[in-house]
Structure 1
């Protein structure tokens, strides 16, 4: 079982009022390509796995967004670690239908 959950909120700040949604979608695709369990929420995406692996995704997301033209962004990162193991389903199962 994974020991960490990391929630990532990327807030692109594109120039000239450009739509930020394509950048957010690209950030999610970087997470999808990483092959880790994830859940997209309305304000952030939560990923599950080993902490070092998950934290390596943060600069990868930033680099990918810069490559496609997003020169400025904010990120909010939340980390939940439990050496005994933790999962998204464990925390939310009673609310999932």
Structure 2
């Protein structure tokens, strides 16, 4: 069972001042490749899993931005940790549409 939700908004400093969207797409691909449940929102992406695994994904996302040519990144991260278990659905079920 997942013990954490981690939301991340990654803001890459692009090499030539171009749009960051293609770079953000590459960062989201890192999440997709990890296999953890996630939801992309308009301003951040939330992942569900074990805290240590999710923090490794955050690190890989930042590393991917550097590999893609960005000189630096800024990442805003939110963590919800519950050793008894937590899911995205528990926090959003009353808002989810049938």
TM-score, normalised via structure 2 length = 0.94
For structure 2, the 5+ residue unaligned runs are none
Q: Distance in 1 between matches of 2:84 and 2:17?
A: 45
Q: Distance in 2 between matches of 1:57 and 1:13?
A: 19
Kindly report which structure 2 residues correspond to 1:35-74, keeping only aligned pairs within 5 A, or say none: 35-74=35-74
TM-score, normalised via structure 1 length = 0.95
Which one is further off, 29-38 or 7-16?
7-16
For structure 1, the 5+ residue unaligned runs are none
- After superposition, the CA RMSD in angstroms is 0.9
Per the alignment, residue 93 of structure 1 pairs with 93
Which one is further off, 49-58 or 64-73?
64-73
